[in-house]
């Protein structure tokens, strides 16, 4: 059992366990999330649970059934309630949100695999899909909290979307950032 502030999480087999990227995104969620929230690619549910702890209404979505079961368990461990939906990106999402949180697969590989880390050849496969679709799922007053890496050229999205870097974590092989944009 992992504990972060007042959140308890159980890591689950074959589900990405929270690491540095999760923690800087969690800090941004604590600071900026508001209204109705979509935790897209929820994994263990850490981001959505953080939003639930703020008293927000959260929908958790993931393509992976194991991740959804893990999220359901972690919601229960924290004595909270949230809607959990199986969805390939936005495919099963039927409403609009004030806040969308996304920690996408962003590691670079030659072959796109269905795992939580694999972002394809440039590490941008899921990021590019997300960026082309999110506008259809936001309310007029909204923010996006998106985790990106220097490995997939986050600075291009900063420029293109006029995004603000609200969290940053530099280490020896990459820089992780949380981008906030409207």
What is the percent of the chain with per-residue pLDDT over 70, rounded to a whole number?
A: 90
C-alpha 55/C-alpha 58 separation (Å) is 9
Helix segments in 6-144, DSSP class H: 20-32, 46-53, 65-77, 125-133
- Under the banding of pLDDT at 50, 70 and 90, the label for residue 107 is low
Range of weakest confidence among 8-17, 40-49, 72-81 = 8-17
**Residue 62 pairs with which residues in a beta bridge?**
86
Report the pLDDT value the prediction gives residue 145, as an integer from 0 to 100. 98
Neighbouring residues of 73: CB distance < 8 A, sequence distance ≥ 6: 10, 12
Report the pLDDT value the prediction gives residue 103, as an integer from 0 to 100. 92
Q: Is 87 exposed, middle or buried (0-12, 13-18, 19+ CB in 10 A)?
A: buried
70 vs 157, higher pLDDT: 70
Q: How far is CA 124 from the centre of its chain?
A: 14
Domain boundary assignment for the chain: 2-181
- Report residue 2: phi and psi, to 5°: -100, 145
2-181 CATH choice from 3.30.1440.10, 3.30.540.10, 3.40.50.150, 4.10.520.10 = 3.40.50.150
C-alpha 103/C-alpha 40 separation (Å) is 8
Using DSSP bridges, classify how beta strands 2-4 and 7-9 pair: parallel, antiparallel or unpaired. Answer: antiparallel
Residues 129-177 pLDDT 10s: 999 999 999 999 999 999 998 888 888 889 999 999 999 999 888 899 9
C-alpha 69/C-alpha 45 separation (Å) is 10
């Amino acid at each position: 059992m992992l504990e972060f502030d007042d959140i308890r999480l159980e890591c689950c087999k074959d589900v990405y366990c929270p690491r540095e990227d999760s923690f800087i995104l969690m800090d941004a969620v604590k600071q900026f999330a508001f209204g109705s929230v979509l935790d897209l690619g929820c994994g263990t549910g850490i981001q959505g649970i953080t939003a639930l702890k703020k008293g927000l209404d959260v929908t958790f979505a993931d393509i992976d059934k194991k991740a959804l079961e893990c999220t359901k368990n972690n919601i229960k461990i924290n004595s909270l309630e949230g809607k959990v939906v199986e969805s390939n990106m936005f495919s099963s999402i039927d409403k609009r949100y004030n806040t969308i949180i996304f920690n996408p697969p962003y590691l670079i590989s030659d072959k796109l695999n269905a795992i939580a880390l694999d972002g394809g050849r440039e590490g941008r496969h899921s990021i590019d899909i997300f960026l082309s679709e999110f506008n259809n799922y936001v309310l007029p007053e909204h923010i996006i909290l998106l985790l990106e890496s220097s490995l997939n050229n986050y600075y291009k999205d900063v420029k293109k979307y006029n995004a603000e870097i609200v969290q940053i974590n530099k280490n020896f092989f990459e820089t992780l950032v949380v981008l906030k944009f409207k």
